[in-house]
Structure 1
Amino acid sequence: MKTTVITGLGVTAPNGMGVETYWKALLDGRSGIGPLTGFDTSRFPSCLAGRIDDFVPADHIPGRLIPATDRSTQLALVAADWALSDAGLPSEIVDDYDIGVVTSNALGGFAFTHKEFQALWNQGPKFVSVYESYAWFYAVNTGQISIRHTLRGPSAALVAEQAGGLDALGHARRTVRRGTPAVVCGGVDSAFDPWGYASQLAGGLVSTETDPGRAYQPFGSRARGYVPGEGGALLVLEDEATARARGVRDPYGVLAGCASTFDPAPGSDRPPALGRAITAALSDAGLTPADIDVVFADGAGVAELDAAEAAALREVFGPSGVPVTAPKAFTGRLYSGGGPLDVVTALLSIRDGVIPPTPTPDGVPSEYGVDLVAGRPRECAVRTALVLARGRRGFNSAVVVRTADR
């Protein structure tokens, strides 16, 4: 079976644009969550978000693309640029037909569509942008990345809310194993126009706390819900033999295992399926629970969901059997971008031997039995990490990454 290595990373996050800026922010405990600006939120039940306030599209992408793309696509194009550059692709060994694109998106182009609806309602159909025909679509990030870099390999788009980003990585690994040398993959989301923000609040799980430091507390004893964010990460997955042939000597790590499950319908007597996703991913990686050095948890910040995730972790690892962290509390939940960003964070933990903390100032209920890395980073050897993500309506995904020298 082919080994799939990770050779390039690209990050656009509320607390840092670029891999190293983001990583330093996490270790310094710097949050990207704050009051949402750009429109009046006074009549909304919440007012906080993880927004990338310093992003200027014209600084990163050609001007001709800006009127044709939603903000989420602009962020995805930047992350893809950085990931491909980091990987050194395309190259003489890996050409355009050898590279695919697999992205996930949960929210679509809300801001773009809202702007065009306003034009339709106020001025008429002749004033609606022709780009509306695709700028809103969930698959547009895959298409725009492919066009911009002339990547003609097998490509796809997936939708599974917060779990979709990890599903994209799993699909990309299958694509590599089937013979495609490299795939750009991951997820990015953004929806912070009034319509997009209202749609996120409508789910009833967004925190109404006004203190940014206490609004989103994964596994917290006073968990109040989550804070939505924007951004995400794109990664380059590559066949190890191809990567070595073109001179890659030190990949970030190996995508060793992945699995996805779906919860039973509400009211069913069958148990939730997150634990099954964990054990399946471990089996796929040829590992046991004892091999995992840290879990990057989904960390919903909702008491019922956190308790269910804690139960799954206890079932697999035993009470407090493995360090757990949810650094997404510094960025907000990024939907399709959350899982890939956690995978990047796990790879950096492996690289530097440190686990970033979870900002949960109100403490963790003892009955959870979770060894949460809270308050400050924890220095320790990290060789293998498990990353989890759950999407609304029952999606569960798990990914295992490990060192490349194992």
Structure 2
Amino acid sequence: MSPTTVVTGLGVTAPNGLGTEDFWKATLAGESGLARVTRFDPEQYPSTVAGEVPGYTAEDHIPSRLMPQTDHMTRLALTAADWAIKDAGVEPGQLPEYGMGVVTSASGGAVEFGQHELQNLWSKGKEYVSAYQSFAWFYAVNTGQISIRHKMRGPSGVLLTEQAGGIDAVGHARRHIRKGVPLVVSGGVDAALCPWGWVPQIASGLMSTESDPDRAFLPFGTGASGYVPGEGGAILVVEDADSARQRGATQIYGEVAGYAATLDPPPRLVAGPPAAGSGPPDRLGRAAENAIADAGLTPADIDVVFADASGVPELDRAEARVLADLFGPHGVPVTAPKTMTGRLLAGGAALDVATALLSLRDGVIPPTVNVPEAAPEYRIDLVTGAPREAALRTALVLARGHGGFNAALVLRRAA
């Protein structure tokens, strides 16, 4: 019998809250962190709205020796990891170094750090490029810095599946737990709110160009016109349940009960209308079905779905069709609290996982803000307006990453 994988600690840095409980309070209150970009001047770009982490002063959280060698993204990740480890009551120095691993998600790495150093190179010369550029930009830097800071030398890695990465990271953490590693720090934090990170997203054609923050990101709504990016995410402490009890863990947020991932085929390989099982809706649906089966459950056992909710009408339509086919029309409550944060690239799904665990803990489903109701064609029970109290035992978290990545995670409430 495989070990039971549980989450014992959460650390959140999000556009609508710094710290887990501040984030959760704001989320239940429907407080959005979306606003006009301030980290750079967006005037020359068609998209101007983002979710920025508020009130974060890196010097209050990061040792001075790390400041020159870290990007804003990595500082947020280190802070979230510190909070998650503390929340779990873990003292890394009292545990075997090779019994603790780190698996996080990433998208393009620390692009703001890289942009700054390239600007120095072009405008001043190579002598002004930091030696830390050799690794500070690297997509695996969050995993590396967390591992070094807490002397976690066990199996580690990084997943590059964009928005799906946070779920994939937790799924891989569970694999390590099942192979005998007692503890893995997992999740994802991202930050690409700089021109170098902004332009590639605009080029995708999927970003919203609406300048009103309350109208810019409306997944499943009739006025949906694309997504809004954000920064931040969540870091989780994932443990073997028996090991957690043996070390004296005082809380368990929930169990990682099921996980699955699929990959959509490249569009050029699909000729004509997608056949059953070959198009993006079916591959996302297959991930959901497989994750539910992996948990030993049926769709009827799922109490709430945290949707990927892209805000792109074509993709929303595909996801809504998956949900209606899997659970029946309006068959399960669906929510997208990311309307308050934006899509956080590699940090987005990890934050959804943390939010789902808090929902299971407190028996309440957070709302999808700014969307009065789902468009009738979608046939889903979208939670809007205010939180909905419910007897929650299980949650399904869905995520899709640019490039065809699909991931699904089933969480079970702690006994």
Deviations 1:185-211 (A, max 9, x none): 011110112222222222111111111
Alignment of 1:56-71 (within 5 A): 56-71=57-72
1:271 paired to 2:272: no
Give me the CA root mean square deviation. 1.2
Deviations 1:108-142 (A, max 9, x none): 11110111011111111111000000011100100
Residue 141 (structure 1) aligns with = 142
- Alpha-carbon distance in 1 for matches of 2:109, 2:38: 21
Deviations 1:208-258 (A, max 9, x none): 111111110111111011100000001011001101111224311100000
Query: Are the aligned partners of 1:93 and 1:246 in contact in 2 as well (CA < 8 Å)?
Result: no
**Using a 3 Å threshold, how does the CA distance of structure 1 residues 339 and 384 change in structure 2: closer, same or farther?**
same
- Alpha-carbon distance in 1 for matches of 2:229, 2:361: 28
Query: Are the aligned partners of 2:219 and 2:371 in contact in 1 as well (CA < 8 Å)?
Result: no
SS at 2:267 equivalent: coil
- Alpha-carbon distance in 2 for matches of 1:153, 1:58: 29
Alignment of 1:246-261 (within 5 A): 246-261=247-262
Structure 1: tracts of 5 or more residues without a match: none
Deviation at 1:359, TM superposition (A): 1.4
The one-letter amino acid of 1:142's match is: T
Alignment of 1:6-405 (within 5 A): 6-90=7-91, 94-266=95-267, 268=270, 269=274, 270-272=278-280, 273-405=283-415
Query: Are the aligned partners of 2:335 and 2:368 in contact in 1 as well (CA < 8 Å)?
Result: yes
- Alpha-carbon distance in 1 for matches of 2:250, 2:40: 48
Query: How many aligned positions are there?
Result: 405
Deviation at 1:92, TM superposition (A): 7.4
Q: Given the two structures, how large is their TM-score scaled by the length of structure 1?
A: 0.98
The one-letter amino acid of 1:307's match is: R
Query: Are the aligned partners of 1:182 and 1:239 in contact in 2 as well (CA < 8 Å)?
Result: yes
Query: Are the aligned partners of 2:88 and 2:237 in contact in 1 as well (CA < 8 Å)?
Result: yes
SS at 1:5 equivalent: strand
Deviations 1:242-279 (A, max 9, x none): 01111224311100000000112215232320000000
Structure 2: tracts of 5 or more residues without a match: none
- Alpha-carbon distance in 1 for matches of 2:213, 2:93: 48
The one-letter amino acid of 2:360's match is: I
The one-letter amino acid of 2:99's match is: D
- Alpha-carbon distance in 2 for matches of 1:137, 1:91: 25
The one-letter amino acid of 2:112's match is: A
Deviations 1:134-174 (A, max 9, x none): 01110010000001111111100110010011100000000
Q: Given the two structures, how large is their TM-score scaled by the length of structure 2?
A: 0.96
Deviation at 1:383, TM superposition (A): 1.1
Moved more, 87-96 or 283-292: 87-96
